[in-house]
Homo-oligomer: A and B are copies of this chain.
Amino acid sequence: MARASSRPGITDVAKLAGVSLSTVSRAMNGNPTVDPALRERVTAAAAELGYTANPVARSLVLGRTQTVAVVIPDLENPTFQAILRGLSRAATADGFHVLVADSTEDLDAEQALARATRLRTDGVILCAPRMPQEELADLLPVLAPAVVINRDPQPTTPVVAADYATGMREILDHLVSLGHRHLAYLAGAARSVTHRARQRAIAAAVAEVDGLVVDEIAAGVGFDSGTAVADQVLGTGATAVIAYNDLVAMGLLSAVTSRGIDVPTRLSITGFDDIPFAAFTSPPLTTAAVPAVELGERAWAAMHAQLEKSEPTPMLTMTPSLVVRGSTAPPPAD
């Protein structure tokens, strides 16, 4: 007999309903080979006891946990927050749970975290823009099933990504069409895949547009990185600056504005991502909108497909859309 304090087990239900455990299990799981009358008795007994099957025990025997892990480099970054949000809601809608692991930008922790969380979940969605490709290639097989976000195509793992190169090109074209020829690019994470995509777009634009010059300035990925490079940016004489992301753009915007430089008349600034607050700076930020929530949803869909139908999803890329707001204008006349 079970101690009264503990949660009721399947045995308790069986005893109360006067059947065997197996019958209870089948009845609860909707197995059609169980007599309706018996099923009725069982569900009644279960309801009376407030019985719910222990998911841990189920997981052990079934070999699946109904849970997936999401590894994110930085929960503070609005883009990753949006990805997590889209993913979490989509997974919940399908009856799955989400384990969230914030690697806090720690490259070493990232791997370990991914492996560790995989052990208690059915798969991991990996958002690791800075992890070296080689390391990633080693990691993915042990993580399978996995889904990777914002990386180049992988041999065996579905990738869901935004097309940063195209988004970047749209920004470049926008600035060029405004008349800018001397730009500055605030590079973020040097090792990140999305940074290299941006560089490709820049190289292509420089090759195609006569007289276009783009100075690359090392910066970070946060607001502070933007403020920190303000003087350096102004020193280049560029008439427009392409920030690595909206956060950096906002930092730069704030710093140059406080130096008395008007945006956009004296200097144009663009961001990237279109985070929720990009529309509310002054002036509001021209940026390339990355559909982060949808990225998360698609990542879940790719995972779900592997889990249920063990059907691999092809590479899926989504194109950011240029959002022109008030932070860009033609270069000053002088």
Is A4 part of the contact surface with B, judged by Cβ < 8 Å? no
| Contact B67 A56, beta carbon cutoff 8 Å | no
Asked if residues B60 and A56 are in contact (CB atoms below 8 Å), the reply is yes
Is A89 close to B, CB under 8 A?
A: yes
On whether the beta carbons of B89 and A119 are closer than 8 Å, the reply is no
Among A65, A99, A104, A117: residue with most chain B CB under 10 A: A99
Which residues of B lie under 8 Å from residue A60 when comparing CB positions? Answer: 56-57, 60
Interface segment, A24-32, A187-195, A211-219, A276-284?
A: A276-284
Residues of A182-227 whose CB lies within 8 A of B: 223
Given contacts A56-B65, A99-B97, contact A104 B89 (CB under 8 A): yes
Interchain CA distance A97-B100 in the complex, whole Å: 8
Determine how many copies of this chain the complex contains: 2
Residue of B nearest to A104 (CB): B89
State in angstroms the CA–CA spacing of A54 and B113 once bound together. Answer: 15
A236 at the interface (CB under 8 A from B): no
Q: Which residues of B contact A254 (CB under 8 A)?
A: 280
A131: chain B residues within 8 A (beta carbon): none
One of A39-47, A80-88, A133-141, A311-319 contacting the partner: A80-88
Render A50-84 as a binary contact track against B, CB cut-off 8 A, 1 for contact. 00101111011000010100000001100001001
Specify which of B59, B89, B101 is in contact with A92 (CB 8 Å cutoff).
Answer: B101
- Nearest B-chain residue to A102, judged by Cβ: B88
Q: Which of B88, B119, B280 is within 8 Å of A54, CB to CB?
A: B119
Q: Is A98 an interface residue (CB 8 A)?
A: yes
Say whether B75 contacts A81, CB under 8 Å: yes
Question: Looking across the interface, which residue of chain B has its beta carbon closest to that of A75?
Answer: B85
| Chain B residues near A223 (CB-CB < 8 A) | 276, 280
Interface status of A174 (Cβ within 8 A of chain B): no
In the complex, A250 has a CB within 8 A of chain B: yes
A266 interface contact, C-beta 8 A: no
- Chain B residue with the shortest CB-CB distance to A72: B88
Is A120 interfacial (CB-CB < 8 Å)?
yes
Since A65-B120, A88-B102, A223-B280 are in contact, a sample of 11 more A-B pairs with Cβ atoms closer than 8 Å, ordered by chain A residue number, is A55-B120, A56-B59, A56-B119, A57-B60, A59-B120, A84-B100, A98-B99, A250-B277, A277-B277, A277-B280, A281-B282
Which A positions have Cβ atoms within 8 angstroms of B? 52, 54-57, 59-60, 65, 67, 75-76, 81, 84-85, 88-89, 92, 97-102, 104, 113, 117, 119-120, 223, 250, 254, 276-277, 280-282
Which 10 pairs show the lowest CB-CB distances between chains A and B? A282-B282, A277-B277, A75-B85, A55-B120, A100-B100, A56-B59, A56-B60, A88-B102, A55-B119, A60-B60
23 contacts between A and B (CB under 8 A): A52-B119, A55-B119, A56-B56, A56-B59, A75-B81, A75-B88, A75-B89, A76-B85, A76-B276, A81-B81, A88-B102, A89-B102, A92-B113, A97-B117, A97-B120, A98-B100, A98-B101, A223-B276, A250-B277, A280-B281, A281-B281, A281-B282, A282-B282
